[in-house]
Amino acid sequence: MFIDIHVHPAFYEPINADENREELRHQELDIHKNGTAPLEHIFNQMRCAGLDKLCLLPEDYTSTVGCALVSNEEIRTLVDLAPDRFIGFASVDPSDPEAPDRLEEAFTRLKLKGLKLHPGRQHFMPGEERLEAIYQVCERYDKPILFHAGLSWEPDTFTRYCQPTAFEEVAEKHPKLRICLGHFAWPWVRETAMLMVKYPNVYADTGALYFDNAYEFYTQTFTKDIPVTWIDRSLRHQVMFGSNNPRFEQIRMADAITKIGLRDSTLELVKGLNAVEFLGGLD
């Protein structure tokens, strides 16, 4: 089982019938010249990467952009088109007073499997009191949260909201809440490892590729910035493969993760088993 835990489907063809909406997504995500992708192409990419499932992440930026760039309903639509391949997450805007109710609806009516939040873009500190109601909904329904962490290429993002230590209060106060620091919170990979070794409910995904090619960047990040033994020995149950596609190169990253020197049994965890645990099962 090979799962990409971090995929943004903003340019999937079935949710881009409206050209204005597509253009808004290009501008607000700062991803260009990629066009829209028919699902057949997505499936071709998955086959080339060896991926079995993709975790699709929406973005609710209502308070700053005026709408969700990809809505929970659109995620449901995509999942229904390929339920054996897609796992759908929800998004809410923490500035919306109705966010907890909307999240509950996403978990119950839309049957979404987790929550994506972006502190840097949605301008909140993860430990803020106003987030508590959202965290409690996740705990009540046993759903994980995938946070954007570390550098974000999107406009209007501030990295101070995304440093690993900003998530420590959440990990400490909610030990049963599974949280993932997206992108391994690059460039703060040592700090992310620090949190993970202390808090077993903290996961991280590998969705970063800001310099060089996939193999070179993974080699630098996961064998030099931190020794590969840290993952292979201590964090092997908390690291998940993620590509952050379409920002980064899913196929080459899926290949690179196999070449950094992890044991086969660790690779199996990173490629899928940890994601299944994080998600609370695939049902």
Partner 1 sequence: MQYVKTIHILTKVYNEFDVITPQVEAIVAESGVKNGMVTVLTKHTTTGVTVNEALECLESDIAVALSLFAPEDRPYSHARMLRDYGSTAGNPTGHLKALVTGSHCHFLIQDGKINRGGAQDVYFCEYDGPASRNILVIVEGE
Min dist CB 33 to partner 1, Å, is 5
Question: How far is residue 83 from each of residues 40, 78, 112, 116, measured CA to CA in Å?
Answer: 14, 8, 12, 19
Site string for partner 1, 4-33 (x = CB under 8 A): -------------------------xxxxx
Q: What CA–CA distance (Å, rounded) separates 24 from 1?
A: 35
Token pair of 71, please?
Answer: 């809505």
Q: Kindly indicate which of the ranges 60-68, 114-122, 165-173, 244-252 contains the residues binding partner 1, using the contact rule CB under 8 A.
A: 244-252
**In the complex, least distance from residue 248 CB atom to partner 1, rounded to whole angstroms:** 5
Interactions with partner 1, residue window 190-229 (CB under 8 A): 209-214, 216
H-helix segments, 97-151 = 99-108, 119-122, 132-141
Residue from 59, 74, 191, 249 binding partner 1 (CB under 8 A): 249
The minimum distance between CB 48 and partner 1, in angstroms, equals 6
Respond yes or no on whether the N-terminal peptide bond of residue 246 is cis (omega within 30° of 0).
Answer: yes
CA pair distance 150, 188, nearest whole angstrom: 7
* Position among 40, 84, 129, 283 found at the interface with partner 1 (CB under 8 A): 40
Of 34-42, 168-176, 183-191, 228-236, which segment contacts partner 1 by CB under 8 A?
34-42
Buried b (16+ CB within 10 A) or exposed e, 160-196: ebbbbebbbebbeebeebbbbbbbbbbbbbebbbbbb
For partner 1, the closer CB: 13 or 277: 13
Task: Using DSSP, state whether 71 is helix, strand or coil.
Answer: coil
> Contact region for partner 1 (CB under 8 A) — 42-50, 104-112, 191-199, 263-271?
42-50
Site for partner 1 in 141-200 (CB under 8 A): 153
Question: What is residue 173's three-state secondary structure?
Answer: helix
Binding interface with partner 1 (CB under 8 A)? 29-35, 37-38, 40-41, 44-45, 47-48, 153, 209-214, 216, 246-249, 251-252
